[in-house]
A = this chain, B = another copy of it.
């Protein structure tokens, strides 16, 4: 199935370039209500001018057959207007396709709950992300270049969540790191009862039910 990107902006343009490079076979449809047209030669996508909270526009984008939808925020508008439009679009999308994953960017924390109620699958709180990143850039106490570091990691690796195996239960974090590294995983931490424990002490003991958080290469197949 194809991907539908709602909102034409620098983020979607860069994303389309990444997609074209890594997954050139995934067709992309872009919907935007201000832009009238885009140059196909520059961006290999199908473009629809219109309002994505309007069911007819979504049907034109063949929403029923699509694989995923991404809604990016219109940052040139006031935050509450951008988020309100995103939530209306989520509602309309969910009304036409009840199973499709919807990734939505929300600018203001106060709209996150309503975006989830409307049917979003994943919320990207981009302001949270950028402010945390700026905090790192301003405050790091040891030598580093946090912005470059994270970007390089994201370009090369993906995150993996997997339940702790019987073999790893009752092992220390250090032992588990060793065993997983030989299988192509770099263990970063665990998620226990929905709480992240990133880089716990070397002697921290894993237990049944823990989720292992690890880096894995993009090439590696689903385990």
Question: Of the candidates B79, B146, B158, which one forms a contact with A10 in the assembled complex, judged by CB atoms under 8 Å apart?
Answer: B79
Q: How many copies of the chain does the oligomer comprise? A: 2
Selecting from A36-44, A88-96, A159-167, the interface stretch reads A159-167
Q: Looking across the interface, which residue of chain B has its beta carbon closest to that of A76?
A: B76
Q: In angstroms, how far is the closest chain B Cβ from the Cβ of A108?
A: 7
- Judge whether A138 and B103 touch: CB under 8 Å: yes
Cβ contacts under 8 Å, A130 to chain B: 11, 105, 124, 126, 129-130
Indicate which residue in B18, B122, B145, B188 contacts A147 across the interface (CB closer than 8 Å).
B122
A178, B182: Cβ atoms under 8 Å?
no
Known: A13-B131, A132-B155. 17 other contacts (CB 8 A): A10-B108, A11-B127, A11-B134, A12-B131, A14-B128, A14-B132, A76-B76, A128-B151, A129-B150, A141-B222, A142-B159, A143-B162, A144-B160, A149-B159, A153-B188, A153-B196, A181-B202
